């Protein structure tokens, strides 16, 4: 999810009415400040209760090295699958609100964070504008997203990128360690 570094109010744009059908969506979770295992599990529970969505499943938790700014704690990552009965921009706004509830403050790119939620895939939607890029623009390059995604949706085809399993094989040099089966 590509979002310019602006305040929440400037991210809002007029959205079409809620779609008549649910869309299969995948959301990545990551945290490396405070107690990231506790935070990611709490965020998974919060996603279970998100309005206009149906929680399907969550991956196991994974420990991964930071990308970008390397001198920071390891991350705890997971992916959840939802069916969303709201537009992709509205879902993204709900994810931003959830991040804020968990104390997320945006500073520099790839900085340590209490919680990061990325909308990876929204049905078969392909979109690229200043507010939202789908599928997530770096999803296919990151084992910390692909490993938990492959766990819960091994047959998923990422629009414009390919099969999750094949994409994960291309990231074999990236260290990803499963913490325990199935998150909260």
Alpha-carbon separation of residue 62 from 14, 30, 38, 74, 138 (angstroms):
36, 9, 13, 10, 18
* Residue 118 known to be catalytic: yes
Rounded Cα–Cα distance for residues 86 and 84 (Å): 5
* Residue 180 known to be catalytic: no
In a 10 Å sphere around its CB, with 0-12 CB exposed, 13-18 middle and 19+ buried, how is residue 91 labelled?
Answer: buried
Instruction: Tell me how far apart the terminal alpha carbons of the chain are, to the nearest angstrom.
Output: 24
24, 48, 104, 138: the catalytic one is 104
* Residue 138 known to be catalytic: no
* Residue 7 known to be catalytic: no
The residues annotated as belonging to the active site are 104, 113, 116, 118
């Amino acid at each position: 999810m590509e979002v310019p570094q602006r305040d929440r109010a400037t991210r809002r744009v007029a959205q079409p009415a809620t779609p008549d059908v649910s869309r299969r969506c995948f959301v990545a979770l990551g945290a490396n400040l405070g107690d990231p295992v506790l935070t990611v599990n709490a965020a998974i529970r919060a996603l279970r209760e998100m309005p206009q969505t149906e929680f399907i499943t969550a991956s196991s938790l994974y420990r991964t090295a930071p990308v970008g700014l390397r001198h920071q704690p390891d991350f705890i990552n997971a992916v959840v699958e939802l069916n969303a009965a709201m537009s992709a921009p509205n879902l993204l706004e709900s994810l931003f609100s959830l991040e804020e509830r968990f104390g997320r403050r945006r500073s520099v790119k790839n900085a340590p964070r209490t919680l990061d939620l990325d909308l990876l895939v929204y049905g078969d939607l392909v979109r690229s504008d200043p507010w939202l890029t789908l599928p997530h623009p770096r999803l296919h390059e990151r084992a910390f997203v692909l490993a938990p995604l492959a766990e819960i949706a091994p047959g998923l085809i990422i629009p414009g990128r390919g099969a999750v399993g094949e994409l994960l094989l291309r990231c074999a040099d990236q260290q990803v360690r499963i913490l325990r089966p199935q998150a909260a």
